[in-house]
Chains A and B, each alone.
Chain A
């Protein structure tokens, strides 16, 4: 079984558009949305939810006012400034539990914290696992790991040999959770200074975890000089640039129609994505078992 994760560093470069197109082009895959924080893949794949489960991301302190004698020790030990006037602010709280251990009156207990949901669904392109982190919750990395784990179970059960994961932006914990152990990451970038800057950082993270990466330059014609720079950068590091997609308003129209670009149109963008997918598939099949 192979796992491909689509990432970008910078947000809004086209991860989900491209992942959704892969869903339509690939065969025998399980889709996983590794963006549990601002997930969009479901808008195109319109999953029918078969199973919904609660996600408990960790524990949170609960204060029993009756036992509290307002000694203030909890406020002293908390390093996150999460307790004011003997009230715990759930937004600042990191859930470390030190307040519970420090409280001389056992007025604080740690309770499992409901932090979101995860789903197993059917789509027109096969099974999909996705999650929804509660607003302003932490532990998105844990939920991403859970989504990947469930996708693997389904792949095993249904004899599927590929999992395609739509990754989150950035380089922090949910990104790390979405890529560690993947067979291949595809970094989608754009030829802007921001895109290049963020690509370098996210490829750094992939390198840090010894992952093989490929690059796709979206809207490459916005600045062809920068596109050349990206290709040069990748060449020097032996990273294959598998696709250069031109800017085309048809991409937004497909999104508004809630279709993948390959379903919506058979023009140049679809053509390029098809060729890119063939290269990725070949790469995935080419025995670069980690």
Chain B
């Protein structure tokens, strides 16, 4: 079973839920797909055993063959390659690595070479199998790194995927293909606004979902009204607690600071399991 954790709004507690769920279960795999700002490792403190460079294929023009016909520039939907007189200009950050330019080149003058956009690190944190991706600073495109990272998903295990906030391509890439999506929110106007967007996204992906309300005693009650109206289950509530915030600030997992939470996360997992079974049955 693959459980993805997402949120719409940032800073609502995705990583807290993801890491503590992983720590409360046995032998799971934790895959941090927030490759822009991964934080899971700060709490799980894994021993990294392997580092894999991830690149995308980008064009390299053989000047001796190129006739500057401009077909490559015409085919590129992302304006990553431009031909000006007797010069081919390439803008690597715009390239999606689709291979269109080399496919179309009538002179066979374009070869593709890997350009690194980030790395994937794998390791162990106790009995947790740990994977995360790190987008290189200055790189705009997270989805190809996330796609590669997800090839390391271990289907024999319960997999917990942490995503970045928002509802656009990196989040979709992280969440799609999961069996259940847990959306973490806080009961504030910002939390609710972004939760609505996240729910729309998850529904578009046709993935069953549930909500965790973090800092459940702040703000107002509109998140619950919304969930009731939309028939979305609220699977867990965590109160605002200075002790939790302070432990978080130091990288101490909630279940270590307050061990009673372990059984609450196990209960959360069981509820998810039941719902996934109901969906598939």
Cβ distance A270 to chain B, nearest Cβ, rounded Å: 19
Q: Which of A12, A98, A222, A247 contacts B10 (CB 8 A)?
A: A12
B11 engages A13 (CB within 8 Å): yes
- Of the listed stretches A64-72, A164-172, A237-245, chain B binds A164-172
Given contact pairs A38-B165, A40-B194, A96 touches B176 in the complex (Cβ within 8 A): no
Interface flag for B59 (CB, 8 Å):
no
A170 engages B219 (CB within 8 Å): no
Residues of B within 8 A of A59 (CB): 77
A37 engages B168 (CB within 8 Å): yes
In residues 224-275 of chain B, which contact A (Cβ within 8 Å)?
Answer: 242, 245-246, 248-251
Interface flag for B201 (CB, 8 Å):
yes
Q: Which residue from chain A places its CB closest to the CB of B198 in the assembled complex?
A: A38
In residues 102-150 of chain A, which contact B (Cβ within 8 Å)?
Answer: 102, 110, 133, 135-138, 140-141
In residues 190-232 of chain B, which contact A (Cβ within 8 Å)?
Answer: 190, 193-194, 197-198, 200-201, 204-205, 218-220
B250 engages A12 (CB within 8 Å): no
Interface flag for A260 (CB, 8 Å):
no
Given contact pairs A96-B77, A97-B100, A192 touches B249 in the complex (Cβ within 8 A): yes
Interface flag for A205 (CB, 8 Å):
yes
Given contact pairs A13-B11, A96-B78, A198-B37, A168 touches B166 in the complex (Cβ within 8 A): yes
B42 engages A176 (CB within 8 Å): no
Q: How far is the CA of A43 from the CA of B194 in the complex (A)?
A: 11
Q: Mark A182-217, 1 if CB is under 8 A from B, else 0.
A: 000000001111110110011011001100000000
Q: Mark B2-25, 1 if CB is under 8 A from A, else 0.
A: 000001111110010000000000
Residues of A within 8 A of B201 (CB): 135-136
B250 engages A223 (CB within 8 Å): yes
- Of the listed stretches A21-29, A249-257, A282-290, chain B binds A249-257
Residues of A within 8 A of B29 (CB): none
- Of the listed stretches B47-55, B121-129, B132-140, chain A binds B132-140
Q: Which of B137, B190, B198 contacts A205 (CB 8 A)?
A: B137
Cβ distance A210 to chain B, nearest Cβ, rounded Å: 11
Q: Which residue from chain A places its CB closest to the CB of B251 in the assembled complex?
A: A193
Given contact pairs A98-B103, A171-B135, A79 touches B169 in the complex (Cβ within 8 A): no
- Of the listed stretches B62-70, B81-89, B91-99, chain A binds B91-99
Q: Which of A141, A194, A204, A255 contacts B42 (CB 8 A)?
A: A194
Query: Nearest 4 CB-CB pairs, A to B?
Result: A11-B10, A12-B11, A96-B98, A173-B140
